[in-house]
Structure 1
């Protein structure tokens, strides 16, 4: 399993509109092959900052399967205009400790 983490700084006056658009956009991502789950959380310290956590089966499910899909264009149209600056996205793998 891969965990995608995206820090999303939303234009301050547009947080409500962002949350409404995300409610639509989550339907897109949840139908993608390799998608496992997601959650969106809002910062308590900076009310226009969100973190998006998405679990994928493989890295390629996100980087190729989703980002190179026609559905990604719909995702972009719904969400990308809310970000300032554009999000940093990283991928993580769980460390199994004894």
Structure 2
């Protein structure tokens, strides 16, 4: 499994609406090919900072299948208005599991 980590900065004062929009988007990820998990984390130090962490079976499940889907367009329609800047996305492999 690979993890997509999207670093998201939202517009100040839109936390509740953004989090509600992400909640509405959960079914889009749940039904996406190869999507194994999805969670949203909010920064404690930087109140407008979030990390969307999505587990995908393969990189292509995210970069090809999801990004090329209507579900991705729906995702962006739900949350795009809250972005203060374009999300910064990276893909990670787990290399050490400590415990």
Normalised by the size of structure 2, how large is the TM-score?
A: 0.92
Q: Post-superposition shift, 1:92? A: 0.8
Aligned length: 97
Residue 61 of structure 2 is matched in structure 1 by 61
**Segments of 4+ moved more than 6 angstroms:** none
Unaligned residue ranges in structure 1 (runs of 5+): none
Matched, 1:82 2:82: yes
Partners of 2:72 and 2:92 in 1: CA distance? 21
Partners of 2:91 and 2:46 in 1: CA distance? 23
Matched, 1:37 2:37: yes
Unaligned residue ranges in structure 2 (runs of 5+): none
RMSD: 1.2
Normalised by the size of structure 1, how large is the TM-score?
A: 0.93
